[in-house]
Every structure is written in structure tokens, then in C-alpha cells.
């Protein structure tokens, strides 16, 4: 057994939250650069170059990439030989407390915006800490702990959609609906997008898969040929919409479309689309 304290986890998350807000991942920058090179519409090219300039400025001057520093989604992959340990000053903590402490400290020290309200419909009082985060935990082989933190903006999350298809639906029907979802996300959700797609599982698993799909490197296709081809077809169709950066027209409506799949019931074909804006902010750390 290897022991990791909750304090270590909180500190790692505090640091990740600030890095995520200021530093666009390398694969996202590369995708924006390629898009700017290939874009045929001059105003669209201009916007893409300004987004790249924005990412340089954010990193150099520690100004957040976007004022919506997001809801924090944390993926924790715990090696099965790892055991969590309490520190003397927080004997009752569980994993959620460590994540909460890390997010609150990161958002306060990093001068990040606190965008979370305590409940959805009554008072909508801001928690002032940007907590709680959404946490997804899983056990894996080994003695490492991998923490991935994503800051998800509200504008694009608002345009994400779910649909139960008949199990007899074909690929073309599913593709058409996904492209329609992207079209309707439109200018509001800050294109160019990364489109995360969850196929299969059940109601909630397909949604989780659509979010996990966003964590894959943008140039890395699905490992199965059928779904890799479908990703390619989707990206081509999405980019032929002509929506373009900021919805003002152009070739670059999405940087990538990524599909994650899971087995599902004979009666079901759940499909979830998680729309992500160009400010595709996530980083990981392994302890």
C-alpha cells in the first residue's frame, strides 16, 4: 500500500485549478494554429489569431483565458494500491472534502471567478468558493493517483443535449442529430467547439462518456475504426455548416469530434453531446 494524504490531494487541485484557468493545453493551441492556417475566411482567420493571442497573454500575465472560469469537473483515477490518509488537522475528511478545499483555495488565490450557486431554483446564492465541484472517481491498476481537472464554462454546457434513439437507428440518423445539436449551439456557445459524444451506456453514463470524450487529445481518434471514421465524418459535416468562429461564418466550426462508447440495453441507444468551447481547459497531474 502507498499512502497519499488528503492535504496532498488538496494542494494538487489548488495548483491545477490555477494552471487550467491560464494555460490552454498544447493540443488545443496546435489545433487553433492549424485552423488559423487553413481558414479561408479572413475575418474568421482574424478571430482565430486573436484567440491564440489571448492564450499567450493569459499564460504570460496570469489573466484567466476566459472570465467564466467554470464549474470544476474532477476525474480521479485511484491506483488500487493507493490508500488515502487523513492529516491531523482534518481527521474527518473524505475525498470530497480534499477536492473542495483545493478548488476553494485555487479559485481564491488565483483570482478566479466564483460561478457556483448553492441551489438551482430558490435563492441561487453564490457559494463564494466555486465549490462544490463535480467529482468522478474510479479505481485503476497500480500505485499512482491521477487527477484531471476540467473547468467547464456555462455558455457551452448550456447547449449540450441528450437523446434516446431507437436501437434500430442507423449511423446517418445519429450523425444528423449530432450535427443539428452543434448547429443550434451556434454562436452562443463560443465556436470553434470541441464536440464530446457519448454513445451507449444508459441515461447518465452516456452523458458522462460525452464529457470523458473531451479529455482525449484532439488529434487522437477513437481506437475502433468504425467510430474513428464516424468522428471524421462528423467533423467534416460540422465544419461544412459554415457557422465558423464565434458563429460569424467560416470553415472552422469545430476543432474535433470525439466519441466514447459503452455497451447498452437491447432496447436503447442513448446519445449525449457535450458541447465544449474553444477555451478547452483541462490538465492532469499524477501523484
182 scored as a contact of other proteins (CB under 8 A):
no
63 scored as a contact of other proteins (CB under 8 A):
yes
Min separation Cβ 59 and other proteins, Å = 9
Alpha-carbon distance values, 48 to 195, 234, 279 (Å):
18, 21, 12
CB 256 within 8 A of CB 194: yes
- Backbone dihedral angles phi then psi of residue 237, each to the nearest 5 degrees: -65, -40
83 scored as a contact of other proteins (CB under 8 A):
no
Min separation Cβ 64 and other proteins, Å = 4
Neighbours of 40 (CB within 10 A): 9
Stretch binding other proteins (CB under 8 A), from 8-16, 54-62, 72-80, 208-216: 54-62
Stretch binding other proteins (CB under 8 A), from 50-58, 139-147, 228-236, 255-263: 50-58
66 scored as a contact of other proteins (CB under 8 A):
yes
Angle at 115 between CA 217 and CA 246, to 5 degrees: 55
Among 8, 54, 173, 268, binds other proteins (CB under 8 A): 54
Stretch binding other proteins (CB under 8 A), from 41-49, 140-148, 201-209, 212-220: 41-49
Using alpha carbons, select from 146, 14, 133 the residue that is nearest to residue 78. Answer: 146
Using alpha carbons, select from 131, 67, 62 the residue that is nearest to residue 103. Answer: 131
46 scored as a contact of other proteins (CB under 8 A):
yes
Min separation Cβ 243 and other proteins, Å = 6
Among 5, 41, 90, 173, binds other proteins (CB under 8 A): 41
187 scored as a contact of other proteins (CB under 8 A):
yes
> What character string, x for contact with other proteins (CB under 8 A) and - otherwise, covers 98-137?
-------------xxxxx----------x-x---------
Q: Which residues pair with 275 in a beta bridge?
A: 195
| Cis peptide leading into residue 212 (ω within 30°) | no
Min separation Cβ 44 and other proteins, Å = 9
201 scored as a contact of other proteins (CB under 8 A):
no
> What character string, x for contact with other proteins (CB under 8 A) and - otherwise, covers 1-30?
------------------------------
Min separation Cβ 264 and other proteins, Å = 29
Question: Which residues contact other proteins (rule: CB under 8 A)?
Answer: 40-43, 46-47, 50-51, 53-55, 57-58, 61-69, 111-115, 126, 128, 153, 155, 158, 183-184, 186-190, 241-244, 246-250, 277-279
Amino acid at each position: 500500500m502507498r499512502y497519499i494524504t488528503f492535504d496532498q490531494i488538496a494542494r494538487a487541485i489548488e495548483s491545477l485549478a490555477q494552471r487550467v484557468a491560464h494555460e490552454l493545453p498544447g493540443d488545443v493551441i496546435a489545433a487553433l494554429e492549424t485552423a488559423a492556417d487553413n481558414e479561408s475566411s479572413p475575418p474568421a482567420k482574424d478571430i482565430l489569431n486573436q484567440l491564440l493571442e489571448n492564450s499567450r497573454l493569459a499564460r504570460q500575465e496570469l489573466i484567466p483565458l476566459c472570465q467564466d472560469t467554470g464549474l470544476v469537473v474532477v476525474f480521479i483515477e485511484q491506483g488500487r494500491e493507493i490508500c488515502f490518509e487523513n492529516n491531523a488537522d482534518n481527521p474527518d475528511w473524505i475525498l470530497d472534502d480534499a477536492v473542495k478545499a483545493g478548488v476553494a483555495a485555487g479559485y481564491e488565490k488565483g483570482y478566479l471567478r466564483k460561478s457556483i450557486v448553492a441551489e438551482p431554483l430558490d435563492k441561487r446564492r453564490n457559494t463564494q468558493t466555486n465549490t462544490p465541484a463535480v467529482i468522478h472517481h474510479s479505481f485503476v491498476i497500480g500505485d499512482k493517483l491521477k487527477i484531471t481537472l476540467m473547468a467547464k464554462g456555462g455558455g457551452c454546457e448550456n447547449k449540450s443535449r441528450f437523446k434516446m434513439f431507437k436501437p434500430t437507428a442507423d449511423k446517418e440518423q445519429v450523425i444528423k442529430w449530432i450535427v443539428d445539436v452543434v448547429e443550434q449551439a451556434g454562436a452562443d456557445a463560443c465556436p470553434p467547439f470541441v464536440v464530446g459524444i457519448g454513445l451507449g451506456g444508459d441515461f447518465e453514463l452516456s452523458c458522462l462518456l460525452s464529457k470523458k470524450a473531451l479529455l482525449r487529445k484532439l488529434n487522437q481518434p477513437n481506437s475502433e475504426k468504425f467510430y474513428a471514421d464516424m468522428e471524421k465524418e462528423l467533423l467534416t459535416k460540422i465544419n461544412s455548416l459554415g457557422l465558423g468562429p464565434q458563429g460569424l461564418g467560416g470553415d472552422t466550426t469545430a476543432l474535433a469530434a470525439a466519441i466514447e462508447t459503452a455497451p447498452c440495453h437491447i432496447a436503447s441507444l442513448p446519445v449525449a453531446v457535450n458541447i465544449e468551447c474553444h477555451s478547452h481547459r483541462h490538465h492532469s497531474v499524477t501523484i
